[in-house]
Amino acid sequence: MTTSTITGHGETLRHYLQVSDLDRDTLLNLIDRAIKLKNNQKAGRPYRPAIGRILGLMFEKPSTRTRISFEAAMYHLGGNVVFMPSRDLQLKRGEPLKDTARVLSRYLDCLVVRTYGQEIVDELARWSSIPVINGLTDEHHPCQILSDIMTVVEYKGRNLEDLKIAWIGDGNNMAHSWIQAAARMGFSLYLACPRGFEPDAAILKKARDEAGDRIHVSNNPEEAVDLADVVNTDVWASMGQEGEADSRREAFRAFQLNAGLLSRAKADAIVLHCLPAHRDEEITEEVLEGPQSAAWDQAENKMHIHRSILEWAMELQED
């Protein structure tokens, strides 16, 4: 397993700040482990390797799934959770991130952070002596991508190299995590974004240097969805972009995932949406609630992958 090398302590901690922190085997192991933990849980076998451990959740943006699934994951593992809305911390009155990170490291065993800039989680990780996990920034959503690919594995099997995965919509944090995952995990990724809303050029270049010609970006949703095995979309205005919602609605109109667009994919294609969804904007009610939607399994899988990530990050004993 590889570990992130960001640390101010000369030691190597298991931070997970973006998908490219981890190598292919580690990513696949996290998914395989989550599937095993899910099966064990459904069979009623308790697993409590985190008794006596405390997970901190420092959240600056709203969350339903990530917050509650991390909390549930930690409780299922036998541990405890402290939820910290950033607005209630001295951070909001100017206390430096490096001081916050060092103090929290004395109380907690692991920290999940949801915030705006990626540099915030990077700085927290640099000064923490506990693992730091990115629970979404403006640039990346690396935990989400693992539950999404876990869902793909459950529906399509483990031969990811054989799959065409389409991303329709914004070149946002989710798109960046998909791009990094494609570089590491071998599937073909076709992104279709409106002009001016393509993914970050530096993230794309780095992934393409690794993945060769498996990552495609166009402004053509039909081409991206043609014969795809998996079709993904996400909101047109992410958290923090609420003021752009009207102009984005205009720019993204031709990128709605509706029955017509989906009919171009393979007949057994699945639809993913990390949620929350805006019905009849980026996805129609018909598609989100239709037989090809895997969005609800995808949401459930967040809890299982979070158990796997926490177990890995805190180096808890495996059964």
The residue ranges that bind ligand NVA (CB under 6 A) are 136, 172-174, 234-235, 238-239, 274
- In the complex with ligand CP, which residue's Cβ is closer, 148 or 311? 148
Task: Report the nearest approach of ligand CP to the CB of residue 41 (Å).
Answer: 20
- In the complex with ligand CP, which residue's Cβ is closer, 13 or 152? 152
String of DSSP letters for 126-168:
HH-SS-EEES--SS--HHHHHHHHHHHHHHH-S-GGG-EEEEE
- In the complex with ligand NVA, which residue's Cβ is closer, 17 or 235? 235
Task: Report the nearest approach of ligand NVA to the CB of residue 175 (Å).
Answer: 9
- In the complex with ligand NVA, which residue's Cβ is closer, 77 or 294? 294
Both structure tokens of 85: 């809305």
Crossing angle of the two packed helices 97-107 and 118-127, in degrees rounded to 10: 50
* C-alpha triplet 66, 48, 146: angle, nearest 5°: 35
In the complex, residue closest to ligand CP by CB: 66
The size of the interface with ligand CP (CB under 6 A), counted in residues, is: 9
Backbone φ and ψ of 220, nearest 5°: -120, 100
172 makes contact, choosing from ligand CP, ligand NVA, none, with CB < 5 to 8 Å by partner type, with: ligand NVA
Do residues 245 and 237 lie in contact, with contact meaning Cβ atoms separated by under 8 Å? yes
64 makes contact, choosing from ligand CP, ligand NVA, none, with CB < 5 to 8 Å by partner type, with: ligand CP
| 199-207: long-range contacts, CB 8 A cutoff, minimum separation 24 | 199/171, 199/172, 199/175, 200/139, 200/171, 200/176, 203/139, 203/176, 203/179, 204/179, 206/20, 207/20, 207/179, 207/180, 207/182, 207/183
Do residues 186 and 160 lie in contact, with contact meaning Cβ atoms separated by under 8 Å? yes
Task: Report the nearest approach of ligand NVA to the CB of residue 268 (Å).
Answer: 26
Which 248-277 positions form the footprint of ligand CP (CB under 6 A)?
274-276
- In the complex with ligand CP, which residue's Cβ is closer, 136 or 287? 136
Site string for ligand CP, 30-69 (x = CB under 6 A): ---------------------------------xxxx---
Residues near ligand CP (CB under 6 A): 63-66, 136, 144, 274-276
